[in-house]
Each structure stands twice: as structure tokens, then as C-alpha cells.
Structure 1
Amino acid sequence: MINRRFFLIVSSVILAHIVASKNLANNSLKTTKKNKEKIIIIGAGIAGLTAGKTLQNKGFEVILLEARNRIGGRLWTSKKWDDAFVDMGASWIHGKEGNPITQLANSINAQVFPTKSEKAIIYDINGKFITEEKEEKLDTLNNKLQEIISKIQNKYDEDISLQKALEKELKWQTLSDVNKQYFEYLLNSNIEQEYAADISQLSAFYFDETKEFDGDDLLFVKGYNLISDYLATGLNIKLDHTVESIASNSQGVNVITNKGNFQADRVIVTLPLGVLQKNIVKFSPPLPEKKLEAINQLGMGVLNKLYLLFPKRFWQNNYDWIEKISEKKGQWSEWVNLESALRKPILLGFNAGKFGREIESWSDEEIVADAMKNLRQIYGNSIPQPIDYQLTRWNQDPFTFGSYSYYATNSTPNHRQELAKPINKKIFFAGEATSIDYPATVHGAYFSGLRVSQEIITLTN
């Protein structure tokens, strides 16, 4: 399911990380005497806001430069529907147990709603509820996939794409059409929707190299921006400031934006990987070769959303997830029932990777019509048209060029580590793509904000 990692990894390493992060977060709340250093933070997403809050509470002078006309970055709560706020970016606290975002949510009494992967209903390619026999077959094939993936990661001497490895191990050409459809559904729902990339792009070695928190996944009933708004309180944030260049020398840093120059002792860069890959922001001196290699080797995925608001519910309300084995891999195969959480008849559909990118070139009307065609296969032609819709095109977003990072073929955790390294104690990097333990998550971005803050605090003590 999209709301769980393909493999669950819980270890003492995670617990140690959590304890350290809790201590750092608690310490950051204790305001100390004013530090004369000035820090510029580029980006007011979760990483930038966390770093800003931590450093300001430690006495640093902090200014955040945000290109958008809002804070939050890839946390983006739409309030278009007054009585139902929906998240266009991140939606879930992934794993509530020990998750720092859970702690933040509790501290501001944010209302959350659990969604469970086991509360799912699956329909076949013809839109019919799958029989118990077919469900058992899916379980068998899923177990086979997990076994093969475990073997793949210990079998090959050199990294290849997950698709090439699986095609070899499954003897793809010999499979029946039905088995191919089942495997494609499992690969899309368990992996491609999770990592926002096709298996043809994912590293067979490292695609699932991540750690997880245990417990339910939680939706914010009033939107994820409750967290970013809380972190932003009291910070000096300049919106609509697009950074064009960053220059550094022994004296400090100079940041040029579309609205003027800003000087400081150090700068924290939280630009999404997709923006770094486009080389839009110029660095002087240029970024080191190893840093550039890391930027270009890692992948930036796409996961797009479509919210449909209906006049009434026509689906069963005792399921959180509505899934379909689609004719074209990944085409409207994952839906979330939001009526229980938002008290409105709303369905949320996902499209990831290749198909997620493809539909960005379609008109809104074409996207909605294609989604409705899929839903009518399941629920019949008499279901009502949506009253309204909201959708995303993250790959076209000029401030992200994608949704979140993934391990592309031939990328490794060392690339994330390299991306996170500071340059000459002047330029620092944060964001989910720099997280080795929790990439592609809000809590990974949060931890990166704490990490980079501690790097600067240590240098200036």
C-alpha cells in the first residue's frame, strides 16, 4: 500500500536516533543569549522551518527566503473547499509511534485520523470485486515478490534497475497475461506508488533503503499546514523571494534573489532535489564534483493527486483504500476514501512515476474524465459526476520539479550523505533528499533541519 513501506525495518538504531532527536528538539526550545551570527535559510518547507526555529531559539539571527507566496513547500493544504481542507502535498504522518511529527501534532492538539492498509478492497481489471480465490493468488504472488527482491539485493555484483532484475528472476516472458497483470498491480501499489517512480527507474539494490516508525498512518483532518504554521511562528520569512545565486567566501555568504541581495555568515539550502538538478540556482564557487554527482545520481519522483468531491457517497464507507487492477499499469489503481476523515464524500486518487508524469500534459477535464471512466468500471455508469475537483502537477512545479526523492539505479546512500555535507563551513544542506534514514518523508525533512542546525551550533560554540 502507498501508506506503508514495502519492508518494515524497526531496530535499536532507529530508537537511538529518536532519542537523540528528541533531546535536540527539546534543547532547541531553550532560548539562549543572542548569537551575533546571521543565518540565511533558503526555503520555508519543513526542513527550513525546523532549522529556523531551532537556530533562532539558540540566539542566531535567522531569515528565511521562500520563492512561493506561501510557506510549507511540499506541505500544501488547500482551503478551496471551506468545509474540507485537503493536502496537495504530503498527507500522512507515516507511523505514529515515536514519530516527531506525531509529537508536534499532539503539542498543538491537531486532529488526526488513522488510515489502515488492511482496510482495503480490491477490484479486478473488469471492475469486479476480487474473489477469495483471486485474493489468495495475489497474496501468493506478493510473497513470491518479496522473496525474490530479498534475493536480488544479495545476488548481483552491480546495480541494475528493479525492473530488469525482476524480469530475469520472474522469467517475465513466460508468465501468463493474468499473472503479469497481477504482478504489475502489486509492483505499482506496493512500490511505484510508494517511491514515486517506475520500477524501471528504481535501484534494485537500494530502492527500499529506509527505516520506519511503527503504528498507524495518520491524516491531518484540518491539513498538514498546521505543522508548518506552528513552526513558522515568530520567524522572519520573506515570501516571493526566488533565489538566483549563492556566493560564499571566507567572510560569509551573499544570496541574490529576484528582490535584492542578502548577506549572512552562513546559508542553509533546503531546495528540493528537482530544483538542484535543474541547476537553476548558481553557486560561486561551483558545487564540488561529488556534490554534483550526488544530485544527478539520485532520482526525483512524481506522485500526483486528484481529489473528487461528489454530491453523495456511492462507495462502501468501511474501507480506507479502494484499489483496482488496471489495464495500464498504475492508471488510477489507488484511491483513498476520505469521507470518514473529512465528513465529505471525497475520493483521492493517485498516479505515480511514468503515468503520473504523462497526465500532467492532459487538461484538467481529460484527467477527471479518465478518473471517472475508471470509477464507473467499478461502480457503474449511474454514479454522479463530481461537484468539484482539485489536482496536482508536481513535475511541472517550478519550485520542486517533482514530489520527493528516490534511489535511482546506481545511486546509493553515500549520495545522500554527500548531498548533506556542508561546503567550507559556509553552505549547509537539508531536506528530505539529504536524509539517509528517512528519505522522502516529512519526518526525514524534519530530522534534517535538526541535523543542520546542530552542525552550525557545534561550529559556533
Structure 2
Amino acid sequence: MARLAHRLTRDIDRQPLHPREVSPLELNRRHFLYGSVAAMAAASSLGTASLKSASASAPRVAPGARVLVIGAGFAGIGAARALALDGYTPLIVDARDRIGGRAWSHTDLGTSVDLGAAWLHGGDDNPLKPHAQQLQIPWHPADYGNGRRIDLRGDVIGVAELADSMGAPALQARLADGLFWAWLRWRLGRLVNASGSGRSLAEHWEVAFAGAPDADACALRGAMESYFAAPLDEIALESLFVGEGDELLPSTERLMTGGMQRLAEGLATNLDVRLDTIVERLEWSPGRVTAITTDGEIEAEAAVITASVGLLQQSRPQLSPALPDTHRSALNRLAMGLLNKIVLRYPHRTWDDGEEYLALCGSRLASVVINYGSHGGAPILVGMLGGQRARDVEGMSNDKAVGLLHAELRRILGANLPEPDAAIVTRWGQDPWSLGSYSFLPVGARGNEAQTLAEPVADTLFLAGEAIDTGGYGAAHNAWRSGLRAARQISGGGPLLPS
């Protein structure tokens, strides 16, 4: 069994904008789960394949055809760019008044702060990395060992260095080593039938961490609920066995200090994009689609649909005829998660600029706090809210949410912390064009939902989005990769963009 955490010092790249990256923890999904052998077995048994190795085939849609792309996020932009490269005529439509989808960069606080997607995950393997470099969008290498674990549950705050607590091999090896037998039972079950295990990640967690240092396990659990955007007792055990090594508690990540939305906008350059255009209904038959929108009807020969899982589950847009039963069944086994943020800007810094992260145990709201000052930005602290905390803030007033987090930060950073002079509270569950942050596998999921949803419908409808990438889910690069896959299905295997 591979060790879950180990030291990593690595020169990722030598770009002037992107300095030498050093991370103390390599916490990738393969190490986190069950070692490279088991990871390869799981990936191969799920039929996962790399885009690069997919063989060319006859086009499903005639070359040069018009293709409607619903959604101007990374999935839609990726599909449209690849289709244009293959000689098709893509048209992107989006209900929002901006490009980027769930990549939304706020720039009114003295620096760019991403309210949605914020990181490039996966190190050098992230297919968006070369595009960010080409567009010269600044990033900051994330050092997850640079910070403290804070226990707020008692009258006296408990403090430990992150590298010595959540990064401790003894702590994290409990989860990795214990997962082997859980994975084996899951794999054997899949050989017998196609149903899910019916077990939650929380069930395994309680067993794996029995007797572990309480505050460390508490903080790690909060970080995982932020990663999965759901409470652990709702997350299927299968969540840990899906993908091709996507990072769980990752290293070699880049925080996009220049803005993820800026990356999306740069990638959309020269594409035909219509914003403020709501697709209310999509009527289709093999080889033809008609979109009834708030800006009139649009005719095309095929459609790439990148709406979120939350929207598709509510039949938005309405499809006539509806998706096949196989697709609807897979869709209904997924769920939308919530990762909200509370952004606090202060008049000046009173805290250590060199400390990047605070991992909190016992917080009313945040599981992780990011210090933007350590990234060369403004005096901004961002609380990350996952699991039940993210749901709680949806029903809070801004004043209450800001007040609760600020009070906790004063306990941690000292009474001289001034009142924030600006704040933003996200509520992605109330966003009408996403109904959540990103997808997760709830208890009852099988782990093969993305493979099913990625199957073309009558060579006319092609689904894409972060939930429909066969190599993982939940991140911007998953959305991008799914868009490339949809374009390849349409063209039959034309040239791909760098990936």
C-alpha cells in the first residue's frame, strides 16, 4: 500500500510568472486510496480511457455542420474550440451575462478573488495549465503544509502546524490503508452486480480514524467535506474509487490569482458566443435540433449540452423527446454539492503574511481559511464552507455569516484584527444557472454514471460538464476534458487541443 502523504519538493516549471513550486505534501488520489496497482485495476474495470489514446472513427455529425453548444463554461468552450478546429461551426449560448459558468472572478476588492472554481488541480497533468501559461494568467503554487490546524472547540484554542497534523503520515495512513479492504469489497461487488455499495464515506471514516488524534481527524474531515462539497455521510464510498488519479487532498496545485474567469474568457476568444440567452426548450430528432430561446429559435445539426447536474435533473432545458432511460437513471444517481465562500477584506493586515492556510476544527462555518495576502494579494481572508456548513450559510444573512467568521478569526489572529471593510458571501445553491457548486456521488451511486452520460444520444445530443468526465469530476479541467471528448465524438477523432 502506497503511503498517503510524503514530502515532495519539485521544480514544476520555470516560467517567470509562475515561480518554483514547492509542496510538502503529495496527497493524490492513488496514494490516498490503495496504491497504483489497485488504481489501475479500478480505472481499467470502469472502462476509463485517455482522450489521447482514443482511435479515430467516422464522424457522427457531418463535417462543417452547425453545432449548438449550451453553456459558456469550460466544458462548452472546450467543445466549441475543438469543433472549430475540426471545421464545424459551433455556436455557444449561455443564460448568464458573462463567460465562465461556475468560474466567477470578483475584481472589486483590490485583487481577483474567485467565488467559484479557483484552482488548477493535478499538477503538470492539468490540461488547462498550458493555456494559462500561454495567456500569461498569474497563479500561485499552493503549499498545503504552510499553515496551522486550529481547534476552536474549547476555551483555549488548540494549535498545530499543518505539516505535523493533517499531513502526518501516521494519521493519513489510517484512511489509505483501511481503504484497501473497502475497495476490495466494492470491486468484488461490482463483479457480481452493477449496484452500488450503499455505503457512505462516513462509515469507513469512523472505523479508520477510531483512536486517531481527535483535532487532526476533525480538521481533515472538514477539509474533505469541502473537497466533496457534501457531508461525509451522504457521499458514496465509490467516490474514492472513481477517476484516473485525480487529486483528493492535493499538492502541486495552482491558485489562479489572475482569475479562473479570465482563463475561460481567454479560451473563448474568437468563438461565437451569445450571452443572456436562455434555452427554454430543445426539440430534436436524429440529425437536427431546434432550440427555443429567449432570443428566438436556433437551428443546428447537433447539440452539446453542458448544463449542471442540478439543472438537468430539473429538465432544464426541457428536452423533447427526453433523454433515454439509461441516461436519466444515471443522472438521478448523482447529486449537486455545495462549496460556498465568505470573502473578508480588511483595511490592513494584522496577521502573518507567510501563512497560507488555516484548517479549522469546531468552526461554525469555515473548514479552511485562505490567506490571500500570502499570495501577494490584498488583505483578504477567504473562508471555505463545505458540507452542512455550506448549506447553513444559504439561509443566513450576510451580516450574520460575516460576523460569525470574523469573530472566530479574531479568536485565532488576535483582538487587534480590525472589522472587515468589505465582504462577499456566495450562495451557489441559489444560483439559478447551476443550483450548486459541483457534483458528487451520493450513497447509491455506482461509479459508472459519467460513462453512461457520456454516451451520445442518437448521434445528435452530446452531454458534457464536470460531472461527465470519465477521468474524474468536480473540477474545471474535468469540464474542459469532457468538452473535448464531446467534440471528438462528433468529429470522429479530429485533432485535439493540447491536453
Query: How many residues in Structure 1 have an aligned counterpart in Structure 2?
Result: 442
1:217 to 208, 230, 253: 253
367-376 or 209-218, which deviates more: 209-218
Could you tell me which amino acid in structure 1 is paired with residue 134 of structure 2? Answer: S
Kept in 2: contact 1:299–1:406 (CA 8 A) = yes
Counterpart secondary structure, 1:240? coil
C-alpha RMSD over aligned residues:
3.1
The match for 1:438 is: 472
Q: How many angstroms apart in 1 are the aligned matches of 2:81 and 2:124?
A: 24
Identical aligned residues as a percent: 27
* Correspondences of 1:34-433 after superposition (within 5 Å): 35-81=63-109, 83-125=110-152, 126=154, 128-130=157-159, 139=168, 140-155=170-185, 157=189, 158-167=197-206, 169=207, 182-189=216-223, 191-210=224-243, 211-212=245-246, 216-326=252-362, 331-433=365-467
Structure 2 counterpart of 1:65, one-letter code:
V
1:206 partner letter: S
Which amino acid counterpart does residue 465 of structure 2 have in structure 1? G
Segments of 4+ moved more than 6 angstroms: 9-16
Give the whole-Å Cα distance in 2 for the aligned partners of 1:343 and 1:357.
28
Cα deviations by residue, 1:100-122 (Å, 9 ceiling, x for unpaired): 11110111222221111111211
Q: Deviations over 1:70-115 (max 9, x none)?
A: 111011111222x311111111111331321111011122222111
- 1: distance between equivalents of 2:165 and 2:408? 24
Q: TM-score, normalised by structure 2?
A: 0.81
Cα deviations across residues 216-271 of structure 1 (Å, max 9, x unaligned)? Answer: 21122221122211121111111111111111113501111122111110000000
- Looking at structure 2, the residues matched to 3 and 310 of structure 1 have their Cα atoms a distance apart, in angstroms, of 32
Partners of 1:88 and 1:375 in 2: CA distance: 20
Q: Which moves more between the two structures, 414-423 or 277-286? A: 277-286
**SS of the counterpart of 1:80?**
coil
Residue pair 2:345, 2:421 contacting (<8 A) in 1 also: yes
Say whether the 8 Å CA contact 1:202–1:409 is kept in structure 2. Answer: yes
Counterpart secondary structure, 1:293: helix
Distance in 1 (CA, whole Å) between partners of 2:318 and 2:63 is 29
The one-character-per-residue Cα deviations of 1:424-447 (angstroms, maximum 9, x if unpaired) are 001111111001213111111111
State which drifts further: 131-140 or 92-101: 131-140
> Mind listing any 5+ residue stretches in structure 2 that lack a counterpart?
6-24, 57-61, 190-196
Aligned partner of residue 492 in structure 2, secondary structure:
helix
Q: 1:38 to 1:94 in 2, by over 3 A?
A: same
Superposition deviation, residue 135 in structure 1: 5.0
Give a deviation string over 1:388-441, Cα, whole Å, max 9, x none.
112211111110011111111121232111111111001111111001213111
Cα distance in 2 for residues equivalent to 1:137 and 1:291: 39
Give the unaligned 5+ runs of structure 1.
25-33
Q: TM-score, normalised by structure 1?
A: 0.87
SS at match of 1:205: helix
3-state SS of the aligned residue for 2:232? coil
Which digits, 9 at most, give the CA deviation of each residue in 1:367-392, with x for residues without a partner? Answer: 10010121122123331011111221
| 1:257-288 deviations in Å (ceiling 9; x for gaps) | 12211111000000011111222321111111
Check whether the contact 1:112–1:220 (CA below 8 A) recurs between aligned residues: yes
